[in-house]
Amino acid sequence: MKGSTLVVLAAALALALPAGAAPVRPAVSFQQILAAAKAGRTAAVWSSLSAATRAHYGTLESFKASPEWKRLHGASRSPYAPLVDQKFPDGGAVEAVKTYGGGYAGALRLEGGRWKLQLDPDVLLQPLSPRPGPVKGKVVQAAAQAMLSDPADTGALFLDGKPLQTRGGATNGGRTVTLYANIAQTVPAGRHTLVAYVRGGAHAGALAWAFTVR
């Protein structure tokens, strides 16, 4: 990908997978993972991780010691509400919930007829705009930076659960991408949640963060 290449329009990806592609919707799988994490059923969570994720951590004990498990467990123990439920035609999905602490987002991958949570160490997502926390003035753009080991081919941003018309500029052969979307409507005062999703080849990641307009 070149620097000015369009990554994706989120609205163009609002396509359903073929009927029967999965026994349950990704949202159902995501809720089951959160429920298992809340109950401390780590073996059930482990079996719901993608093959690449399990290969990275090697053992359940190694995963339980990781920051990713702490984030997942913490989000599951907080009161939460569904926020984003989006499938993509390439066999990926992004799910997110709104929590007391802001939000939690996960990239899911369809493997063997089941949606698996993909916690990919080769994907780094960082919020750019608005930054987490208090924001003064008008919010005119949402943005996040993604760094992947493979060139990005899918990306999307969501504001309070609604898809934004997402564009992307890429450098480093498409492995560093800035996802951005202009916001025409006024973002009212109060707390809001942004979700970013990116995928490149077999790698994918998702991130949720909260900001407060004053």
pTM of the model: 0.88
Burial label, 208 (beta-carbon count in 10 A; 0-12, 13-18, 19+):
buried
Does 169 reside within a domain? yes
Domain assignment present for residue 74? The answer is yes
Number of domains in the chain: 1
Residue 45 placed within a domain: yes
Cα–Cα distance, 204 to 123 (Å, whole number): 6
CA 110 to CA 123: how far, in whole Å?
Answer: 18
Q: Show pLDDT as tens, one digit a residue, over the chain (214 residues).
A: 333 333 443 433 333 333 444 458 999 999 999 999 999 999 999 999 999 999 999 999 999 999 999 999 999 999 999 999 999 988 899 999 999 888 999 999 999 899 999 999 999 999 999 999 999 989 999 999 999 999 999 999 999 999 999 999 999 999 999 999 999 889 999 999 999 999 999 999 999 999 999 9
Q: Which domain holds residue 65?
A: 10-213
CATH number of the domain bearing residue 86: 2.60.40.1220
Run of H or E including 200: strand 190-200
Tell me whether the omega of the peptide bond preceding residue 130 falls within 30 degrees of 0, making it cis.
Answer: yes
